[in-house]
Amino acid sequence: MRKVTELQAKPLEREECWPTGPVLVHFRTSWCGQCRILAPSLETLAGELEGQLRIAEVNLDDCPEVAGRYGITQVPTLILFENGAPIECFDALSSPDELKVRLQGVLADYSAPVSGC
């Protein structure tokens, strides 16, 4: 069973549609090789951090306007959101272990949204 949820553009437009708690969103495209390589690691990470955060993905092929809304200029891009507000951007080319450590650090002490990525 997949632990990474596919998000559509419509829920991203309305803050009340976001799940409560932190959500790491993997912004990807269907043609991106790095995105396909990253996907299994995110599935594993979703299982390891279950209860601490959710992991979701957005296919920018299906909703390119989302890239402009969040200033996404390359894929893959990973952004951690809290209640629909971006609080941290992560380098998707980090190793899964490095990403996990960074996520745990942010989750341990996040409080206010950041202004941009």
Query: Which residue in the list 17, 35, 63, 117 is annotated as catalytic?
Result: 35
Q: Which helix (H) or strand (E) holds 57?
A: strand 54-59
35 is catalytic: yes
Cα–Cα nearest to 91, from 105, 82, 80: 80
Inter-CA distances, 101 with 6, 18, 63, 105, Å: 24, 24, 30, 6
Query: Which residue in the list 17, 32, 89, 117 is annotated as catalytic?
Result: 32
32 is catalytic: yes
Active site residues: 32, 35
